[in-house]
Structure 1
Amino acid sequence: MRLLPNALGAIAGLCLMAAPAMAQQQAANAVLQTLDKITARVSTLTIPVGNKAWFGTLEIFVDTCQKRPPEETPESAAFLRIIDHRPQQEPVSAFNGWMFASSPALHPLEHAVYDVIVLDCK
């Protein structure tokens, strides 16, 4: 049933992008919160748009990060590509799509060991 969350995330991303051009502000950095479920280690990563960062075995690419202006309903959204590099295995795409700060459960990373959510775009 992975199709439903992906479809909802795509629809939400299209709705966010369909807003007038003045309603979106392209941000320079994505602020992500990561959780290692085994060690309970919580980290905050600030990743510049167009760059990548590592968290455990995850390679996280930030393609874009957009934020609504302060006079509108608060929302930050980032388009992320996350690749899992497990030892002695081929890299696997773990996530590819939009994540929303106000609704982290709308289109989540589904991983046994790690969680990644968007906090903000700055």
Structure 2
Amino acid sequence: MIRLLALLCVFAAGPALAQDKASSGQGAFLRGLDKVNGRTQDVQIRNGETVEIFGLDVALGDCRFPVNNPTGDAFAYLTIWETGQRQALFDGWMIATAPALSALDHSRYDVWVIRCMTP
């Protein structure tokens, strides 16, 4: 039980600790999946932009990555909603190496972060 609590504390503190030694990228590479037909779509998006991935609109607030490992553990602030709708389906940080920790919950589509765009 104590090990489980310690492990949960490490995962919960991970993004907060990473922000101290993280740098903002110019944007992010995202991947979308249509679960019905198995199609994937890779998208490049800049900070502050909104793109359509299948039937979803995805807005990127920021993409951060470890300073000492630019291709490493990226995390991006995404807002995702169905095209033509107002209510967000997802609004928060998504981590590239652990997408299940904070994931989009949609019956047909899935979106995850691949990496940040670095200079």
TM-score, structure 1 length as denominator?
A: 0.77
**1:61 Cα deviation (Å)?**
0.3
Q: 1:24 to 1:39 in 2, by over 3 A?
A: same
1:3 alignment partner in structure 2: none
1:102 alignment partner in structure 2: 97
1:114 alignment partner in structure 2: 109
1:50 alignment partner in structure 2: 48
In structure 2, which of residues 17, 32, 35 is the aligned counterpart of residue 34 of structure 1?
32
**1:85 Cα deviation (Å)?**
2.7
Identical columns (%): 29
Residues 23-66 of structure 1: CA deviation (Å, up to 9, x unaligned):
11100011111101112111111100110100122110000100
Task: Write the distance in 1 (CA, Å) between the matches of 2:44 and 2:95.
Answer: 16
One-letter amino acid matched to 2:62: T
Task: Write the distance in 2 (CA, Å) between the matches of 1:30 and 1:67.
Answer: 10
- For structure 2, the 5+ residue unaligned runs are 1-7
TM-score, structure 2 length as denominator?
A: 0.79
Task: Write the distance in 2 (CA, Å) between the matches of 1:55 and 1:20.
Answer: 28
Q: 1:50 to 1:44 in 2, by over 3 A?
A: same
Task: Write the distance in 1 (CA, Å) between the matches of 2:33 and 2:18.
Answer: 32
**1:15 Cα deviation (Å)?**
4.4
Across the aligned residues of Structure 1 and Structure 2, the Cα RMSD in angstroms comes to 2.4
- For structure 1, the 5+ residue unaligned runs are 1-7
Contact kept in structure 2, 1:35 and 1:42, CA below 8 Å: yes
Number of residue pairs aligned between Structure 1 and Structure 2: 108
